Amino acid sequence: MATVSIGGGRIKLKGMNAPLTLSVLDQSPIAEGATAADALANTLDLARTADRLGYRRYWLAEHHASPGLAGCAPEALIGPVALATSRIRVGSGGVMLPHYSPFKVAETFSMLAALAPGRIDLGIGRAPGTDGRTAFALQRDRRQRSPDDFPQMLAELLAYLGGTMPEGHPFASLASTLPTGGGGVAPWLLGSSPDSARWAAEAGLPYCIADFINSDAVPLADIYRREFRPSQWRAQPELIVAVWTIAAETDAEAETLAAPATMMFAHLVRGELIPVPPVAKALAWAKDNPDAGNRRRRSVLGAPATVRAGLEEVARLYGANELMLVNIMSDHAARRRSYELVAEAFALAV
């Protein structure tokens, strides 16, 4: 385990160049019997909590056609979250670029930056955030499926945001029409595959690895650092790792609170989408399906000391200076308490 020293509310790991920072990724879970309106109200409450506790960022996910996740439009939710908070950076985790026009994304996030200057992150992803049929329904043109041209769309988006659109490009003049006054948008590339690691490195972008999707992603960090090219966005590689994390008063309680997500994920694997079940229902289901939770995925669960040790180990594995904590829980009070306990364990402070 790496040597740890605490100072100023952050943790410094031996051999790393910067202190470990903690952030939040919110998928806006919908508990069984609740509504999307309830989930979005919980998102605003959790964002205010994270802002108060000293977390660095609050990112909002994009998932479509899901009865269990309300976050289908992070670009629509970032504004309310930014206005409900005062310090924390707010962004997308992420915008699934294949669904959108690069110019539209550049306009939208430049407007959000004007609303909350210096606080807006644009996390960009390639995955559809849904099944194939829903992805097709999201297309404007249904004559054929959209081409797999993510690198080209990413390059266009970055050219708008960075003011580097070639003079001869037919859209060159549009960059000057983007909303101003927000101090710019901070782009990040998100991913869990070697492709995303290489694209982030080639573009000189900061990179967020979804360890909660791919727990064998440590080699992606190596690819990213090895192939990184300095750019106007970053002179050196910068990495966030998003990791599944639940803290509770005891290890046993944290394991219990993880049961709803386990049930939800097992149903997802077999093509069934469900709201987040209550703990009692999930525990009863687990008893009847003892092998359902065997699919390997890293989860940092436990009492505060257990979680702190687990998160430090993840940071050491990836050589990461920032971790983004994500979970799905049916009890909003327990979910909020989880983030409070982690903040206490790491002595976070604004």
**Residue 305 belongs to some domain of the structure:** yes
Cβ-in-10-Å burial (0-12, 13-18, 19+) of 193 comes to: middle
State the pLDDT at residue 40: 98
State the pLDDT at residue 19: 63
**Residue 37 belongs to some domain of the structure:** yes
DSSP 289: -
Confidence (pTM):
0.91
**Residue 13 belongs to some domain of the structure:** yes
Task: Spell out a b/e string for 314-343, using b for 16 or more CB atoms within 10 Å of the CB, else e.
Answer: bbbebbbbbbbbbbbbbebebbbbbbbbbb
**How many separate domains does the chain show?**
1
Question: Do the Cβ atoms of 2 and 312 come closer than 8 Å?
Answer: yes
Question: Do the Cβ atoms of 215 and 296 come closer than 8 Å?
Answer: yes
Range of the domain at 43: 4-250+299-345
Of the given ranges (74-88, 147-161, 215-229), which has the lowest mean pLDDT? 147-161
Residue 17, pLDDT above cutoff 80: no
Token reading at 30: 């919908």
- Which DSSP string do the residues of 197-230 spell out, in sequence order? HHHHHHHT--EEEETTT-TT-HHHHHHHHHH---
**Residue 172 belongs to some domain of the structure:** yes
**Residue 16 belongs to some domain of the structure:** yes
Tell me the mean pLDDT in the region 57-84.
Answer: 96
For position 222, which CATH number holds? 3.20.20.30
Residue 14, pLDDT above cutoff 60: no
Per-residue pLDDT band at 101 (split at 50, 70, 90): very high
